[in-house]
A and B are shown apart, each in its own frame.
Chain A
Amino acid sequence: MENNESASGELNVGEVYKKYASVVYGRCLKILWSEDEAWDATQDVFMKLHQSQSTLQKSGSVLYWLHRTTTNHCISVLRRKRGVAYQEEAHAGNDSANPERALAAKQMLQKLFGPWNKVVREIIVYTYIDGYTQAEISKLTGLGESTIRKYLTKFRRKAQELRGGLEAS
């Protein structure tokens, strides 16, 4: 953290931006699939960073803090965009090669996210969007690997039920 701080001990947001912003933006793009939304989300995350310096200093790694904050922020952006917004994006979405696939994936993700709390949603993103191992998720979230396994088992069971329901309908 020392390299990111000014002489007064305050976080130097300019330095942090130069080092981390591309990683944050890449992460936002991976979850939101829209360059404009990813840029907006990146700015929001860095605003949060500026406002949360005390919690950040406790967490040790700026990268881990940014990963978690970005993930939660993007999940809430996705959750806000229910219904009609998805229909609009099917036509203007970034996955121009296959907009139907992009829409289907977003809708599926939305359904899957629905019943879970914030922690589980975060684990779902790390597992299925980032492809992180349980050890990596444990490093990021501070949760034990057995807890992560338990959540993922529950999630997979629910996803199976959802898949069964979709096939039946």
Chain B
Amino acid sequence: MKPVSKLDVERYFTGELTGAEADQIERAMDSRPELKEYYQELQGDKNVFLAKHPYRDFVKGNQRKASSPLVRVLQWFSVPRPVWVAVPLVLVLGIAYFFQQHPHVLPDKNPGIRYKSPVALDFLVRRNGEVQPGNTDHVYRAGDAVQFLYTANSFKYISLLSVDQSGKLSFYSPQSAASLPAKPGGGQPFPHSVELDAAPGGELFIALFTQASLSRKDAAKILGLPSAESRGDIQRIQKHLQAGLPEETQAATLYLKKEK
């Protein structure tokens, strides 16, 4: 039997391998963390890519490429003149009037709470194979895969944790450490997506940004909990984070609503 390579993982990832071949890849990923990591990286890249360039963008792009600039201009001017002047004008005036009357409905572009910016936490959600930008007003359900995107700026490590309504603390890092090395630049995908479980109610996701790697115990302490096994109250943790953070530490949180 030939050793499993990254190319094989790519074929497995794109669904080209089934049956015994797929089983072989799954076994190889269990025993070789670098292959598992590569698979998770492919999954993360896919989520980010499809959110940024959905299929409709590809279709639009090709339509643009297929028609010359002259054709495009002619297509535009082939619409009767009163329509192409009036429609955008009515739309713009209508939207402006609506927001003037209802200022409270203006969308908050990044609903995640940030403590001492400039770090940030955002997310995408994959449901039934479709990837959508995350929205903290939506109610998510068990099985939804959440891909977190972080902006760590000059911080070297990120620790991702969550607390559910029952107070259970979860870490999204391998073994006993809480931290993973953070990549520079905005909107970096967390190395793997998080599948929401069936625990009812909302869940608070917390990203801690630090200059040194944190143990799970250290991370729990920052949330005001005595140990990594302790149960925590969401409101109390939020208040604790707002009250202050240790030096060279920043945090960003997202509260995701889940079906009850």
1/0 per residue, CB under 8 A from A, across B24-68: the answer is 000000000000000000100110111001010010011001000
Q: Given A43-B58, A63-B16, A136-B5, A21 and B11 touching (CB < 8 A)?
A: no
> With contacts defined as CB atoms under 8 Å apart, how many contacts are there between chain A and chain B in the complex?
61
The reply to whether A63 and B5 form a contact with Cβ atoms under 8 Å apart is no
Residues of A within 8 A of B58 (CB): 17, 21, 42-43, 46
Whether B2 pairs with A22 at a CB distance below 8 angstroms is no
Within 8 A of A (CB), among B62-85: 62, 65
| Most chain A CB inside 10 Å of its own CB: which residue of B7, B42, B48 | B7
Q: Residues of B contacting A62 with CB < 8 Å? A: 14, 16
**Which secondary structure dominates chain B's binding surface?**
helix
In Å, the complex CA distance between A11 and B236 comes to: 54
Q: Mark out the residues of chain A between 28 and 44 whose CB falls within 8 Å of any chain B CB in the assembled complex.
A: 39, 42-43
Q: Which residues of B contact A20 (CB under 8 A)?
A: 14
**In whole angstroms, what is the CA distance A135 to B3 when docked?**
10
Chain A residues with CB under 8 A of B7:
63, 132, 136, 139-140
- How far, in angstroms, from A132 to B6 measured CA to CA in the complex? 8
Q: Footprint of B on A, CB under 8 Å?
A: 3, 14, 17-23, 25-26, 39, 42-43, 46-47, 61-63, 132-133, 135-136, 139-140
List B residues at the A interface (Cβ < 8 Å). Answer: 2, 5-7, 10-11, 13-16, 42, 45-46, 48-50, 53, 55, 58, 61-62, 65, 129
Q: Which 8 pairs across A and B sit closest by C-beta, in order of nearness?
A: A22-B49, A22-B46, A136-B7, A19-B14, A43-B61, A22-B45, A17-B55, A14-B55
Other than the given A26-B49, A47-B65, 15 more pairs (CB < 8 A) read: A18-B129, A19-B15, A21-B53, A22-B48, A23-B10, A23-B14, A23-B42, A43-B58, A43-B61, A46-B58, A62-B14, A62-B16, A133-B5, A136-B6, A139-B7
